[in-house]
Amino acid sequence: MKHRDIRYRKQFDSAWEDVGGNGSYAVCIVAIDPMSKENGGLVIDKKSYPKQHGCDIEALSMQPGDMLFMHPELLHWSEANFSSVTCRVLLAGYCVYGANHRNYPGDCTNDITLKRPFKNGSFEIQAAPWKVIGDTNF
């Protein structure tokens, strides 16, 4: 589905504010597998940010390790992957201090569990080996 990430940011945190007036966050995509139009890779409208007239659609090609930083106003989407090649990516983001007013899902304590797969298909569940200590407002 075509979308701009800014739309979801505002739905998630109604108190979120664009500190400085330039989006206040960026999304980073790191290709794990080769990405192309053929395997459901990312498609962008290069004229969607900054807002220009018309459109300029491009299906991105990325190799494992390639990184893309996207402005939250950039219109983007993925097509279906009908190939036999996976299209895995790592998503990360950066938000300007003071823009978020609500925590992301979870309790932000890093108290999560890890699942380690065994060859027979079962999983071992164990506590996370880390813990937030002290003030995390840095």
pTM (global) more than 0.85: no
pLDDT at 118: 62
Give just the sign of the alpha carbon dihedral 74, 79, 81, 83.
negative
Q: Which CATH superfamily is domain 5-102 in?
A: q2cbj1_9rhob like domain (2.60.120.620)
Q: Is the peptide bond before 50 cis (omega within 30 degrees of 0)?
A: yes
Give just the sign of the alpha carbon dihedral 12, 14, 19, 23.
positive
Task: Give the model confidence (pLDDT) of 15-46 as tens digits.
Answer: 888 888 888 889 999 999 999 999 999 999 99
Question: Can you give the residue ranges of every domain in the chain?
Answer: 5-102
Mean per-residue pLDDT pooled into runs of 10, the chain (138 residues): 85 81 90 94 92 90 96 92 92 84 56 55 51 42
The CA distance from 136 to 45, in Å, is 37
pLDDT at 136: 44
